Chains A and B, each alone.
Chain A
Amino acid sequence: MFTRIALRLIVMIGALGCAGVALGQDRVHNYFNDTALKVKATESPVEKRVILSKSLGDMTQVIDAVKRAPLTSEQDDINLDRVRATLQEKSDELAGTNGFDPVPDDQLNAFSTYIVQDMEQADKTITVSLVVALLVVIIIILLV
């Protein structure tokens, strides 16, 4: 079933051409926004941390899976590494490791917003190839 879904997605998104790159980037933005909404919807700090930790971890897995694909270029790998490093730093801050103080319970909502907004800056876009964008979309859907 997953194979059929993946193949249909590849055909559909491939037909969009460059729009597939935008789709990939938007999918990542929306993914973290969905996470923030889930965090804010729950009262329990424990549950908030679980949601955030899982979200950051799953996206890191997505990036690792994409990097293992033979179709990514060297530049793609560099850009993916930058995103991965950013996600890892956020995981560290959430947990209070690697020189960070842990995020206090009463700031978890704000931290979830920070993750979303940090991805939405008007700096240089992290340019990835269409192949990488498609892989990100597919793997997010399949694994996450």
Chain B
Amino acid sequence: MTHFLPRLIAGATRTLSTDLGCTGCVALAVFLASCSTIPPARDEGGLVEGLPRYSLVFIIHGDGDYLYHDTLGNARTADKEVLSKAQAIAERNPDTEVFIFHEIERGHVLFLFPRHDGRAYYYRNGRLLAQKSYWRDQGESRFEPEVRLYEQFTGVQSRPPLRLFFYFGHELPEFNGAGYDASYAKRRVTIHDLAAGVRGIASASGKIDLLVLATCFGGTPYTIGALAPYARYIVASPDNLHLSYFDLEPLESLDVGSDDAEVADFADRFARHAFERLASEVQTAVSVVVYDVNDVGAFLESVADVYDRTLAAANGMSPVSVEHCDCADDSTYALPGMSEGLTILYRAPRFGRMKNEQSHSGWECWRIAD
């Protein structure tokens, strides 16, 4: 009964669904153009048709507190900023397919009728082919709505040779997870939910070539371990990350091959660009790390048990009793091979108690207060 009324209203409410993924649907496209949100077609002569070289998937979490201020003091909303940049990237890259899933706060029309709380965009060859509003609570798992839409948009088309995945949002909990979505206070969301979503998107096409996790404290053995089965390279921030996130400029004109060396080089360039941009703009800590999944496996395996025990102890404790710390501060984790497979870019905060910490191990852990 809880979901009957929203579904009834949704069915009676005009949606923005304009899925044009099938070929041979030109007549339908023309009919829908007058009442859809698809922009006018661009100059065909300037576009590169056919199988795109790159596939980019953006999941942008906006169901929470994402207000920040730029260096001039202007208020900005982090999820809307990323959405705008992702759309610009989609429009500027003619040999790319781009999927954007923007998760927003669940609002109401006239304080009574719930509004869709997810917006999906599908671009191919620089054009917006589909735009759809959806519900984020209509799947058995947290990211199932996005995975279903992704499958709907891609249909039976071959996957491009180079695949990138981006998640923007607050720190994904490793335990508990209640309250992550402001609109669904009772729902628990953890890193395993995102990992399941990535698995659904990676599916039978193999690992994601580069996975970018733009959240605070994403570079932990547990989080990287959860994502490692589905990605070749991961870029994440083991420490705090300002809400201006990682700059996406390197994506504006993609020219990367799919062999390992080129993917590794691009991951490195992306990370360095993000680091330099953040270091020039923020006074807080800046940490950007590239994790080569092939080379971090041994370390992850060696610390998995102890980390699991720490999580089990932390779960159920008061939040004031647990805090993040550099894994190198704990001798249990300071093992040979700890830095294997890592490219670590770190700058200490300009103020605060950590301002004199000149390095970071690249791995973030939990510390439980005595």
B243 touches A114 (CB 8 A): no
> Which residues from chain B contact A111 at a C-beta distance below 8 Å?
283, 351
- How far apart are B323's CB and chain A's nearest CB, in angstroms? 10
A114 closest partner in B (C-beta): B283
> Which residues from chain A contact B283 at a C-beta distance below 8 Å?
110-111, 113-114, 117-118
A123 touches B171 (CB 8 A): yes
> How would residues 215 to 252 of chain B score, 1 for a CB under 8 Å from any chain A CB and 0 otherwise?
11100000000000000000000001111010000000
B351 touches A125 (CB 8 A): no
A78 to B318, CA, bound (A): 8
- How far apart are A56's CB and chain B's nearest CB, in angstroms? 13
A33 closest partner in B (C-beta): B69
> Which residues from chain B contact A25 at a C-beta distance below 8 Å?
65, 67
> Which residues from chain A contact B183 at a C-beta distance below 8 Å?
18
- How far apart are A15's CB and chain B's nearest CB, in angstroms? 8
B68 touches A29 (CB 8 A): yes
A82 closest partner in B (C-beta): B320
Q: Which secondary structure characterizes the binding site on chain B?
A: loop
> Which residues from chain B contact A79 at a C-beta distance below 8 Å?
319
From 7 to 31 in chain A, residues with beta carbon under 8 angstroms from any chain B beta carbon are 15, 17-19, 21-22, 25-26, 29-30
**In this assembly, does A37 line the interface, its C-beta being within 8 Å of a C-beta of chain B?**
yes
A114 to B281, CA, bound (A): 10
Q: Which secondary structure characterizes the binding site on chain A?
A: helix
> Which residues from chain B contact A33 at a C-beta distance below 8 Å?
69, 73, 75
Among B179, B216, B241, B352: residue with most chain A CB under 10 A? B352
A81 closest partner in B (C-beta): B320
A113 touches B319 (CB 8 A): no
**In this assembly, does B78 line the interface, its C-beta being within 8 Å of a C-beta of chain A?**
yes
B351 closest partner in A (C-beta): A114
A120 touches B69 (CB 8 A): yes
A122 touches B69 (CB 8 A): no
- How far apart are B178's CB and chain A's nearest CB, in angstroms? 8
B65 touches A122 (CB 8 A): no
B319 touches A82 (CB 8 A): yes
From 97 to 139 in chain A, residues with beta carbon under 8 angstroms from any chain B beta carbon are 103, 107, 110-111, 113-114, 116-118, 120-125, 127
**In this assembly, does B349 line the interface, its C-beta being within 8 Å of a C-beta of chain A?**
yes
**In this assembly, does A36 line the interface, its C-beta being within 8 Å of a C-beta of chain B?**
yes
B284 touches A117 (CB 8 A): yes
24 contacts between A and B (CB under 8 A): A17-B111, A18-B105, A21-B182, A29-B69, A30-B75, A81-B320, A82-B319, A82-B320, A110-B350, A113-B71, A114-B284, A114-B349, A116-B69, A117-B283, A117-B284, A118-B349, A118-B352, A120-B67, A120-B242, A121-B284, A122-B216, A124-B180, A125-B170, A125-B182
Tell me the B residues contacting A by CB distance below 8 Å: 64-65, 67-69, 71, 73, 75, 78, 105, 111, 169-171, 173, 179-180, 182-183, 214-217, 240-243, 245, 282-284, 318-320, 349-353
* Given A15-B111, A111-B283, A123-B171, 13 new contacts (CB under 8 A): A30-B67, A93-B352, A103-B351, A117-B242, A117-B282, A120-B67, A121-B216, A121-B240, A121-B284, A122-B78, A122-B241, A125-B64, A125-B170
